[in-house]
Amino acid sequence: MQDLSANQPIGIFDSGVGGLTVANAICKLLPHENTIYFGDTIHLPYGDKSSDAVKNYATKITKFLIEKQCKMVVVACNTASAAAFEILKKQFEDKILLVDVIEPMVQYVKKNFSDKKIGVIATKGTIASGVYEKKLAEFGIHDVHSLATPLLVHLIEEGFSRHTGSQLLVHEYLHHPQLRKIAVLVLACTHYPILKNTMEEFYHNEVKVLDSTEITAIEVQQKLAENNLLRTNGEATHRFYVSDYTVAFEQVAQLFYGDKIHLQKQNIWNEG
């Protein structure tokens, strides 16, 4: 590991606004940490892309965040975590700290819900990878039922999360036979916490709906602490980059960070 210091920022990325749910949880838990967020809006949605394409995007973004002096990169996207985390570890683990969103959730389910019937909803890419089934099976958890729910990302990116159309779609998906009689629903896409209330209402709070935001923030805290890299005082700065500017991104981002958000467009694919 190269020499890293606590004042260096944490890099966080996703295809769009979804990773902001994780970024926000990190900022709440670790208010002194500087962050740099990268939303790869030009390639959104990742869930419909090939695993090779997602690997490529994730690698390039991680390089960009390393150039921006990040001490840690958080892959705040399940699709990218499923497709690219192993490759990112091989390439960059000697330079920076890396955190994904799948491993913390798997550990959390193992610890708290190992005897329950588990439902998993995610993008097509994450579901096709079978990553949750495989990782949970390693701990003897086999009652896992997955469903791809790709249209939710579009509604969220367009700022439609409070629209009745979103509610109808959530109901349609959660009624699917694949999710019948589950006790726990894993939101395996970082966009979905934005619709978590709608899902909890659908289940009348009888199904435990889990999202990876706080669980991942705790993992970030632990990893930084283990490496003496926690920033424990001083005001934090937050920078936001997008590969393509969209008004929708800015509006959804403002829900989390208020008006002070300033988006910088950075198409890292057109450089060099």
Q: Tell me which residues touch ligand DGL (CB under 6 A).
A: 14-16, 18, 44-47, 77-79, 123, 126, 153, 189-191
Tell me the closest approach of the beta carbon of residue 152 to ligand DGL, in angstroms: 9
Tell me the chain's radius of gyration from C-alpha atoms.
18
Residues near 51 by beta carbon (within 8 Å), at least 6 away in sequence: 82, 83, 125, 129
- With beta carbons less than 8 A apart as the criterion, state whether 149 and 122 touch: yes
Q: Is 77 among the catalytic positions?
A: yes
Between 153 and 207, name the residue whose CB sits nearer to ligand DGL.
153
Catalytic residue selected from 72, 186, 189, 263 = 189
The sign of the torsion formed by the CA atoms of 35, 214, 100, 166 equals: negative
**Between β-strands 10-14 and 72-75, what pairing exists: parallel, antiparallel or unpaired?**
parallel
Catalytic residue selected from 44, 61, 75, 77 = 77
Scored b (16 or more CB within 10 A) or e, 175-207 reads: eeeebeebebbbbbbbbbbbbbebbeebeeeeb
d(CA 101, CA 99): 7
Tell me the closest approach of the beta carbon of residue 195 to ligand DGL, in angstroms: 12
Read off the tokens for 136: 């949970």
Question: In three state form, how does the secondary structure of 198-212 look?
Answer: HHHHHCCCCCEEEEC
Between 191 and 238, name the residue whose CB sits nearer to ligand DGL.
191
Between 34 and 216, name the residue whose CB sits nearer to ligand DGL.
216
Between 15 and 62, name the residue whose CB sits nearer to ligand DGL.
15
- With beta carbons less than 8 A apart as the criterion, state whether 119 and 179 touch: yes
Scanning 68-130, the segments in alpha helix (DSSP H) are 78-92, 102-113, 124-129
Tell me the closest approach of the beta carbon of residue 234 to ligand DGL, in angstroms: 30
d(CA 108, CA 110): 5
Tell me the closest approach of the beta carbon of residue 243 to ligand DGL, in angstroms: 12
Between 9 and 18, name the residue whose CB sits nearer to ligand DGL.
18
Tell me the closest approach of the beta carbon of residue 44 to ligand DGL, in angstroms: 5
Residues classed as catalytic: 77, 189
